[in-house]
Amino acid sequence: MPQFSRTWWGQRFIAALEGFTDAARLGRGRSYANNGRILEYQIAKGKVVAKVRGSVNPYFGVYKEPIYTTSVTVQPISPADWSKVIADLSSKAGYITKLLLNEMPDTVEEAFSDKRLHLLPHGKDDFKTTCSCPDFYNPCKHIAGVCYLLASALDQDPFLMFELRGLSRDQLKTELARSPRGQILASELVSTEAPIEPATSYYTTPRKEPVGTAVGHKEFWTGARRMPAPTEPASLPGVPALLIKKQGDNPPFWQKDQSFVAVMEELYERVRTKNSQMK
């Protein structure tokens, strides 16, 4: 059975769906997501709308393969609450760095829990789903299939979760870049090409530098400026080999039968334990 999500945030999304959905419909939903029955889906204004190819079922009076319209909406967060959350996210360099690098911070829910909110869905109350199929049960297999594909898309683009909650990618990045730390980090991510200057020699030419003023021992050790405030300690990643998993388990250069992701997980674990032993 294929795994539709490898990141912790995608798996949390699936866990919320599986917590209130019938097991039989979940199995058929996974089959729909894996067999190409979901023809297309679009995300706009926090709502996912999909076209799903249904099945012939004389019991429901369906004698021709239908195309159903399925929608999934996640409970949005109000603009006022988003302002409070963004203020917290902008105050910590760890949040800004990972979000600007298209990664979900491991402790991102802490910025929401203080406001009695949560980014990732916890259960049925976070979802609003509809489907044009005749199945009376909600969520049906078509909705489940769309949710599985959506969880897979979240692996590649965690900003989709913010968009489902009512905040677009551009809005989030703009708000983060407005903070002093965000301005510095955002400018570092912009690649600039240095101009090429021809050298007159392969060797460095020595040159004289003026001698500065004498510095006392106190100024030498303390410096002219105060040391910056210590930053928050970096948190350990919740998922080993995260960047590898985001790219998939079948890279073109990998010809072995063994899982490429499993091999990289073992390598990352060896490096991590080796570093901890050297402390």
Say if residue 66 is in the same domain as residue 86: no
Say if residue 47 is in the same domain as residue 171: no
41 in a domain, yes or no?
Answer: yes
Q: What is the pLDDT of residues 153-194, one digit of tens each?
A: 888 888 888 888 888 888 887 877 777 776 666 665 555 667
Say if residue 37 is in the same domain as residue 98: no
pLDDT given at position 1: 40
List the domain range (segments joined by +) for residue 95.
Answer: 78-116+167-190
End-to-end CA distance of the chain: give it in Å, rounded.
Answer: 41
pLDDT given at position 130: 92
Q: What angle do CA 104, 107, 110 make, to 5 degrees?
A: 120
Say if residue 103 is in the same domain as residue 53: no
25 in a domain, yes or no?
Answer: yes
Say if residue 262 is in the same domain as residue 142: no
pLDDT given at position 170: 80
Say if residue 73 is in the same domain as residue 112: no
Q: What is the pLDDT of residues 98-121, one digit of tens each?
A: 787 777 888 888 888 888 888 888
SS (H, E, C) the chain: CCCCCCCHHHHHHHHHHHCCCCHHHHHHHHHHHHCCCEEEEEEECCEEEEEEECCCEHHHCECCCCEEEEEEEECCCCHHHHHHHHHHHHCCHHHHHHHHCCCCCCCCHHHHHCCCCCCCCCCHHHEEEEECCCCCCCCCHHHHHHHHHHHHHHHHCCHHHHHHCCCCHHHHHHHHHHCHHHHHHHHHHCCCCCCCCCCCCCCCCCCCCCCCCCCCHHHHHHCCCCCCCCCCCCCCCCCCCHHHHHCCCCCCCCCCCCCHHHHHHHHHHHHHHHHHHCC
Say if residue 146 is in the same domain as residue 243: no
Say if residue 58 is in the same domain as residue 150: yes
Q: What is the mean pLDDT of each run of 10 residues along the chain (279 residues)?
A: 70 87 85 85 85 80 84 89 86 79 81 86 88 87 90 84 86 78 63 73 80 74 70 63 71 79 83 65
What's the gap between Cα 99 and its chain centre?
A: 8
CA distance 99 to 155: 13
CA distance 273 to 69: 50
Say if residue 8 is in the same domain as residue 104: no
What is the tally of structural domains in the chain? 3
248 in a domain, yes or no?
Answer: yes
SS (H, E, C) 219-256: HHHHCCCCCCCCCCCCCCCCCCCHHHHHCCCCCCCCCC
